[in-house]
C-alpha cells in the first residue's frame, strides 16, 4: 500500500485527488494539508511514502516545504502537482528535491501512474516538462551520443524517442507497439545504461 499525503490550498482539488486515490486498491491517503507548514508537520507524523505537493500556497510554499520535509526524512518522495509548468517553478522544485513534476491538467491515469512510479524510486514528469528538461540539457552539452553496446534495434528506437521527450503513449503510437512493451524496453535501457530515471536516460542518449 502506497501511503500518500495530499498538499494543496484548494479544498476541491484535495477532495478530487482523495476520491481518485481512494478508488485505487494500492493507494491510501493518510492525510491532507492546505499549506506548507502543515505539510511539514504531517509528513513528520504520518510518514507518507509519497507527498503530492502543490507549489503556490499561503505562508510556507511548496518549494520550502519540500526542502524541509526532505531534510527531516530524505526517503520521502515528493511529487509536485501544479498549474505552473514554467522554469521559475520547475527548477526550484527540482533543486529542493522533488522527484517528479506533473501539471494539474494531466489525465487522472497520469497522476496515478506518477504516484506509483514515485513510490518505487522513479521520476515522473509531464511529457511537455520532460521535453523541456531534455532540450535544456542538450543545448547546454551537445556532445555526440556515447557508444551503446548490447542494445537491441528496438531498444535503440525507444531510446532515441525518449531523448526526444516523447511519453510512453507517444512512443507506443510511433513504434506501433503496446505501452507495456515500451515500459519493458525502458526498464531494460535504464539497467543497461545505469540510468536511475527517465531524464538521465534521455541525457545518456544525447551524450550529456
174-191: pLDDT as tens digits: 999 998 899 899 888 888
Pick the CATH number of 146-207 from 1.10.3720.10, 1.10.10.10, 2.60.40.2220, 3.90.550.10: 1.10.10.10
Give the whole-angstrom CA distance, residue 204 versus residue 67.
28
Q: Which CATH number is associated with domain 2-135?
A: 3.40.50.2300
Q: Tell me: the pLDDT tens digits for 13-64?
A: 999 999 999 999 999 999 999 999 999 999 999 999 999 999 999 889 999 9
CA atoms within 13 A on the CB side of 208: 19
pLDDT of res. 206:
64
Query: Which letter does DSSP use for residue 144 in this model?
Result: P
pTM over 0.85: no
CATH 1.10.10.10 residue ranges of the chain are 146-207
pLDDT reported for residue 23: 96
Q: What is the pLDDT of residues 109-142, one digit of tens each?
A: 999 999 999 998 888 888 778 777 766 655 554 4
Looking at the chain, the domain(s) classified CATH 3.40.50.2300 span 2-135
Cβ pair 52, 30 in contact under 8 A: no
Torsion of CA 186, 190, 191, 197, to 10 degrees: -120
> CA–CA separation, 168 vs 148, rounded Å?
21
Amino acid at each position: 500500500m502506497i501511503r500518500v499525503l495530499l498538499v494543496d490550498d484548494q479544498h476541491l482539488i484535495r477532495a478530487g485527488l482523495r476520491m481518485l486515490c481512494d478508488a485505487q486498491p494500492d493507494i491510501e491517503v493518510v492525510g491532507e494539508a492546505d499549506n506548507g507548514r502543515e505539510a511539514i508537520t504531517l509528513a513528520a507524523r504520518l510518514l507518507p511514502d509519497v507527498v503530492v505537493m502543490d507549489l503556490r500556497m499561503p505562508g510556507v510554499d511548496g518549494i520550502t516545504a519540500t526542502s524541509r520535509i526532505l531534510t527531516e526524512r530524505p526517503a520521502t518522495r515528493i511529487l509536485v502537482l501544479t498549474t505552473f509548468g514554467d522554469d521559475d517553478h520547475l527548477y526550484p522544485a527540482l533543486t529542493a528535491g522533488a522527484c517528479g513534476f506533473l501539471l494539474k491538467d494531466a489525465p487522472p491515469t497520469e497522476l496515478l501512474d506518477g504516484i506509483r512510479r514515485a513510490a518505487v524510486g522513479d521520476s515522473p514528469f509531464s511529457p511537455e516538462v520532460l521535453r523541456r528538461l531534455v532540450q535544456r540539457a542538450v543545448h547546454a552539452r551537445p556532445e555526440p551520443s556515447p557508444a551503446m553496446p548490447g542494445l537491441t534495434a528496438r531498444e535503440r528506437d525507444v531510446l532515441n524517442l525518449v531523448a526526444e521527450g516523447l511519453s510512453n503513449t507517444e512512443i507506443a503510437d510511433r513504434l506501433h507497439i503496446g505501452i507495456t512493451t515500451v515500459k519493458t524496453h525502458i526498464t531494460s535501457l535504464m539497467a543497461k545504461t545505469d540510468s536511475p530515471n527517465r531524464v538521465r536516460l534521455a541525457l545518456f542518449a544525447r551524450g550529456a
